[in-house]
Amino acid sequence: MPASQRTWIFTIALIIFNILFFWIKPEGKAMTIVSDILPILCALVALGGTALAVRSFGTGNRARLAWILLLTGVTLFFCAETINGFLEIILNGDVNDGFPILADYFRMTAYIPVLAGLLMLVFGYKKSRFSFGSKRNFIFGLLGLSLIAFTFVHQLLLSILRDADTGNLAKSVYIYYFAGGLLITFPAALLVYISSLYKKAWILSPWRYLAMGLLCLTIFTIEHSYLSWNNTYGSGNFLEVFRNLGYLLVAIGGLYQKELIESV
């Protein structure tokens, strides 16, 4: 059974477990431990998937470089999750205290190579002169996404910026998360759109799942930022399912990329 298929089975099983566990809401530290271990595990799987994708490319070229950048970003996300987990499980700390914490700096740094990798893929596609579909659909989609993104971010971010109790450093980090999330959303959504133009094209499957995964992670990060600021976020929030699913989809994208290259 190909690794991608095994990862799909693992993904479905883990997400079902995640949802059930959070629904049951066990007492004590179990919730914190599971809530912290799951993203570490999922980020590690994502790291493995993207690393295998990088290795499959062989000699250096733009496609390999794009995936190296994505791998770098995923590695930094993994570091952030591990630091979070260490802080909460081993040191019994609260990651919501003293925002931003060390994990946030890893997470913020991750945005840079992830964005660069996505843009390389988008511009590589443009250079290949494959179609972007009908101009009308493309423009409407772009406007629609811009409107949703702007409304979403505007509502959430404005509340934070107006809060006199939130320090300037924290506000800067929130702005960064929101802006970084928005910037990643556009090329990721574009890759999903491109892959929808040719649904049966195996060659586009890696990008489809990679981009869907990154969109899930972005949604989580933005929403998590707002809820944390609002002190309404705690371990066991169902939003975490998005994050875990995001990592696993990234892993599947990487594995599809590896299998695609090996099939040629």
Residue 245 structure tokens? 């699913």
- Minimum distance between the CB of residue 153 and other proteins, rounded to whole angstroms? 30
Residue 150 or residue 202: which is nearer to other proteins going by CB? 202
- Please report whether residue 131 would count as binding other proteins according to CB under 8 A: yes
**Residue range at the interface with other proteins (CB under 8 A); choices 57-65, 100-108, 168-176, 179-187:** 57-65
- Please report whether residue 128 would count as binding other proteins according to CB under 8 A: yes
Residue 4 or residue 225: which is nearer to other proteins going by CB? 4
Radius of gyration of the chain (CA): 19
Residues 188-207 that bind other proteins (CB under 8 A): 198-204, 206
- Please report whether residue 61 would count as binding other proteins according to CB under 8 A: yes
- Please report whether residue 57 would count as binding other proteins according to CB under 8 A: yes
Which member of 28, 92, 127, 165 binds other proteins (CB under 8 A)?
Answer: 127
Residues 79-118 that bind other proteins (CB under 8 A): none
Fill in the DSSP letter of residue 97: T
- Minimum distance between the CB of residue 198 and other proteins, rounded to whole angstroms? 4
Which member of 3, 96, 119, 124 binds other proteins (CB under 8 A)?
Answer: 124
How many Å separate Cα 130 from the centre of its chain? 26
Residue 121 or residue 157: which is nearer to other proteins going by CB? 121
Which member of 21, 32, 44, 64 binds other proteins (CB under 8 A)?
Answer: 64
Residues forming the site for other proteins (CB under 8 A):
56-59, 61-64, 66, 121, 124-125, 127-131, 198-204, 206, 260-261, 263-264
